[in-house]
Amino acid sequence: MKSPVGRLVILTGAGISAESGLGTFRDRDGLWTRHDLSKVATPEGFAEDPARVHAFYNARRANARAAAPNAAHLALAALERRWSGDFLIVTQNVDDLHERAGSRNVLHMHGVLEGALCAGCGHRWPASAVMAADDPCPACAAPRTRPDIVWFGEYPYQMERIWQALRAADLFVAIGTSGTVYPAAAFAQDAARAGAECLELNAEASAVASDFHALRIGPATRLVPEWVAEWRDGPG
């Protein structure tokens, strides 16, 4: 049994929410097999056809609202409650299943489905169930509403905080991510260089599996609770 102390950074990707019924991107039946990513996940695609992009995210928001956290999200929240030390989840996911499972320290580096962003003035506000580009911004009234999502070519959120945490980490764990989208795909290399032990939990080896010290293959709802159970009960 290991003691739940030290500085832990966990990176999650679409695979952790797959068993909650939310689609991944690059698996055989993933979102990018049914949608052209250049049309729905780039600023250029949004400029060309904002209604198509809103339809894509409105549908995903509805799916996320109907989904529930699974055993993997719940196990991470339970581990955080008894962890003494720094505990940070960096998620590429735009759903809120970590928060609904009870996790407290969560950074959404690719944005959130539940957020709206004014492409004019940068004001942010909670998303309505169905958003449209001509919804007026509550701050400046411009009809330039977009989802608060980080698209290809845009700078992910909270990068300074994330790199700081990776540099300080004792342990870095990536769960359910293909390791094909940067900068997240480089986090294991960043953390390992700074001295962290790196573990990958995934349904199949990621594109950057060789950057990790260890790899466990299986579904997140089995692997994550098993890994969490290896940590002795802490004070909390």
Q: How far is the CB of 67 from ligand BJW (least distance, A)?
A: 13
Residue number of the CB closest to ligand BJW reads 15
How far is Cα 118 from Cα 137, in angstroms, rounded to an integer?
A: 6
Query: Segment near ligand BJW (CB under 6 A), from 115-123, 124-132, 135-143, 196-204?
Result: 196-204
Residues of 57-93 as b/e, b for ≥16 C-beta within 10 angstroms? bbebbebbeebebbbbbbbbbbbbeebeeebbbbbbb
Residues in contact with ligand BJW, total (CB under 6 A)? 36
| 106 beta partners | 89
Q: Could you say whether residue 58 binds ligand BJW (CB under 6 A)?
A: no
Identify the helix (H) or strand (E) that includes residue 90.
Answer: strand 84-91
Q: Could you say whether residue 97 binds ligand BJW (CB under 6 A)?
A: no
How far is Cα 198 from Cα 191, in angstroms, rounded to an integer?
A: 7
Does 110 participate in catalysis according to the annotation?
Answer: yes
Single residue of 159, 161, 210, 213 touching ligand BJW by CB under 6 A: 159
Q: Could you say whether residue 133 binds ligand BJW (CB under 6 A)?
A: no
Binders in 5-24 for ligand BJW, by CB under 6 A: 13-15, 18-19, 24
How far is Cα 127 from Cα 95, in angstroms, rounded to an integer?
A: 13
> Which residue among the candidates 54, 98, 110, 123 is catalytic per the annotation?
110
Q: Concatenated DSSP letters for 96-140?
A: -HHHHHT--SEEETTEEEEEEEETTT--EEEPPSS--TTSPPTTT
How far is Cα 113 from Cα 64, in angstroms, rounded to an integer?
A: 8
Site string for ligand BJW, 208-227 (x = CB under 6 A): -----------xx-------
* Site of interaction with ligand BJW (CB under 6 A): 13-15, 18-19, 24-27, 30, 41, 92, 94, 110, 149-156, 159, 176-178, 180-183, 202-204, 206, 219-220
Active site residues: 110
